[in-house]
Amino acid sequence: MGNGTSLVYHDLTDIGRRRANNQDSRAVLPPADPQQYQSRGWFFLVADGMGAHAAGELASSIAARQVPLVYEKNAERSPPLALRRAVEQVNAEIHQRGENASEFRGMGTTCSVLVLLPRGALVAQVGDSRAYRVRKHTIDQLSRDHSLVWDLEASGGLSREQAGAAPRNIITRSMGPHSRVDVDLEGPFGVEAGDAYVLCSDGLSGQVADEEIGLVAATLPPRAATETLLGLALIRGGPDNVTVIVARAGAEEASPRHRRADEWPLTEEEPPARRPTRPAWWPLAASAVGLFVALLSSPWSDLTQRVPEPLRMLCTVVSAAALLVALGTLVVAIIGFLPADPGRAFVLQPGGRLGRGPYRSYDCKPRPALVEGIVSSIESAADGLADPQRLRTLELVARARQQAAGGSVAEALEAVAAAVAIYSRSLEAARSGDTTRGPAGREPPHHPQGSA
* Residue 205 CB contacts under 8 Å (≥ 6 apart), including other chains: 130, 213
What is the pLDDT at residue 297?
A: 73
Query: For residues 443 and 283, what is the distance between their CA atoms, to the nearest angstrom?
Result: 74
Domains: count for the chain: 2
Query: Is the domain of 303 the same as that of 159?
Result: no
pLDDT range class, residue 444, cuts 50, 70, 90: low
Residue 311 lies in a domain: yes
Most confident of 193-197, 263-267, 327-331: 193-197
Question: Does residue 440 have a pLDDT over 90?
Answer: no
Strands of 142-195, DSSP E: 184-189
User: Residue 291: inside a domain, yes or no?
Assistant: yes
Q: Which domain holds residue 126?
A: 1-201+240-255
Q: Is there a single domain that holds both residue 197 and residue 287?
A: no
Looking at the domain assignment, is residue 232 inside a domain?
A: no
With a pLDDT cut of 70, the percent of the chain lying above it is 84
Q: Are 316 and 299 in contact (CB under 8 A)?
A: yes
Give pLDDT, residue 343.
Answer: 46
What is the average per-residue pLDDT within 238-259?
92
Q: What is the pLDDT of residue 52?
A: 78
Using the predicted structure, report yes or no on whether residue 29 has a pLDDT greater than 80: yes
- Confidence at residue 448, expressed as pLDDT on a 0 to 100 scale: 60
CA 68/CA 113 separation, integer angstroms: 9
Is omega for the bond preceding 272 within 30 degrees of 0, making it cis? no
In a domain, 159, yes or no: yes
Q: What is the mean pLDDT of residues 224-238?
A: 98
Whether the upstream peptide bond of residue 188 has omega within 30° of 0, thus cis, is yes
Tell which of 311, 336, 361 closes a domain: 336
Angle between helices 281-296 and 309-337 (to 10 degrees): 160
pTM of the model: 0.81
Q: Whole-number mean pLDDT of the chain?
A: 87
Q: Residue 153: give its domain's CATH number.
A: 3.60.40.10
How many Å separate Cα 162 from the centre of its chain?
27
Percent of the chain with pLDDT over 90: 66
Closest CA to 208 of 225, 230, 224, 227: 230
Helix pair angle (409-430, 368-381), 10° resolution: 20
Question: How confident is the model at residue 259, as a pLDDT?
Answer: 61
Q: Is residue 450 part of a domain?
A: no
Asked if residues 233 and 54 have their Cβ atoms less than 8 Å apart, the reply is no
Q: Are residues 184 and 289 in the same domain?
A: no
pLDDT mean over 358-365: 96
Q: Contact at 8 Å (CB) between 419 and 230?
A: no
Q: Which residue spans within 323-384 are E strands per DSSP?
A: 347-348, 360-363
Q: Determine the 3-state secondary structure of 295 from DSSP.
A: helix
In a domain, 268, yes or no: no
pLDDT(122) > 90: yes
Residue 85 CA to residue 248 CA, distance in Å, equals 27
Are residues 185 and 103 both part of a single domain? yes
Residues 105 and 139 in one domain: yes
Residue 261 has phi, psi (to 5 degrees) of -120, 155
Residue 316 CA, chain-centre distance (Å), reads 70
The pLDDT of residue 258: 61
Low-confidence winner among 28-32, 330-334, 419-423 (lowest mean pLDDT): 330-334
Work out the widest C-alpha separation in the chain, in whole angstroms: 126
- Does one domain contain both 48 and 94? yes
Provide mean pLDDT across the span 277-301. 71
Mean of the pLDDT values across residues 77-102? 96
Has residue 344 got a pLDDT over 80? Answer: no
Strands in 252-346 per DSSP E? 264-265
Could you give the 3-state DSSP secondary structure of residue 63? helix
Question: Does one domain contain both 18 and 79?
Answer: yes
H or E element that contains 28 = strand 24-29
Query: Around Cβ 137, how many Cβ atoms within 10 Å?
Result: 14
Q: DSSP H helical segments within 166-306, as ranges?
A: 202-205, 210-219, 222-235, 281-296, 302-306
